[in-house]
Amino acid sequence: MIALGPRQEDERRPYVGESLVEPAALFMQEIGLGDYLNSTQMTKHGLSSNHKIKPGDPLDRRYSVHAPHRLYHTAWQLNRPKVDGALRARAEELGARLVTGRMHDCEIGTAATGHQAHARGGERDVTFSCRWLIDTTGRTRRIGKKVTTCTRPQARQRSCFWFRLADFEPFLPHIAMSMRRLLAYDLWETTHHFLGHGYWIWGIPLATECHQRLVSIGITFRSDIFPHPCAASKTFSTKNIRRWRRWSAPAKCSTHQRVSRVPLLG
């Protein structure tokens, strides 16, 4: 196995993916990282879905909350820089070869011929032949651009934003929740999903050395229902953030934290 990429200290792209799903958590345990994750990362008790009782009333804070009563498997909310370092070290212990560089092109073959990845490391180019090729270049989409087509909209319209809030006051005490039964775990330790007319909001509780009360928030919405154009964080904050009233009170006492070098993705 070859893992190709920049050194962790040289990575400047935003970390995407802060919440493990259960199959990934089981894989992490299988390769020997279970004890590390249990001792250093926040526990994740699955997902919770929150549906507004009166979708047409932004001031109504009543929600029908749906979550499993008990979980057979738990996962973790990740402090990605720390976990990435531990994962790289464990992969190297298991025999993976870590190569510093970036893939600048690839050739997608068949099961019989395999694939090729063309990389640049330092001042030299190198080509790797492989049976399996996994693209982790994110929005660069080296493989995606080879096998699919994408038509960009003419107008620069973002309908998805992602940011973090530090020193965040948990919102559960500020909403009225209707649940079929009590849960066998702390509801705050879930990935929270708020679903309404034309929008979806998710909130992921996190913790770092600097912030024990950190939350990662993503908002996606239909631009035909929320017609105000949003192409930057300032526009989004002034025009749309107050539409989602459930966040307004906790957000007043919170501070915005940059996600790597890119505070918003969309």
Question: Which has the minimum average pLDDT: 11-15, 22-26, 41-45, 83-87?
Answer: 11-15
Closest CA to 44 of 72, 77, 16, 22: 77
The conformation of residue 56, written as its DSSP 8-state character, comes to T
Q: Give the model confidence (pLDDT) of 23-82 as tens digits.
A: 999 999 999 999 999 999 999 999 999 998 888 787 888 999 999 999 999 999 999 889
- The tokens describing 208, both together, are 């770092």
pLDDT band at 138 (very low <50, low <70, confident <90, very high): confident
Q: What is the C-alpha separation between 8 and 68, in angstroms, rounded?
A: 37
Specify the amino acid at residue 118: H
Q: What is the C-alpha separation between 58 and 201, in angstroms, rounded?
A: 14
Q: Give the model confidence (pLDDT) of 96-135 as tens digits.
A: 999 999 898 999 998 889 999 999 887 789 999 999 999 9
Structural domains for the chain: 46-75+153-257 (3.30.9)
Q: What is the C-alpha separation between 179 and 176, in angstroms, rounded?
A: 10
Give the chain's end-to-end CA distance (angstroms, integer): 32
pTM recorded for the entire structure: 0.80
Which pLDDT score is estimated for 265?
31
Specify the amino acid at residue 210: C
Instruction: For residue 188, give the 3-state DSSP assignment.
Output: helix
The average pLDDT across 185-210 equals 90
Phi, psi (5° rounding) for residue 244? -100, 85
Instruction: For residue 10, give the 3-state DSSP assignment.
Output: helix
Q: What is the C-alpha separation between 84 and 8, in angstroms, rounded?
A: 8
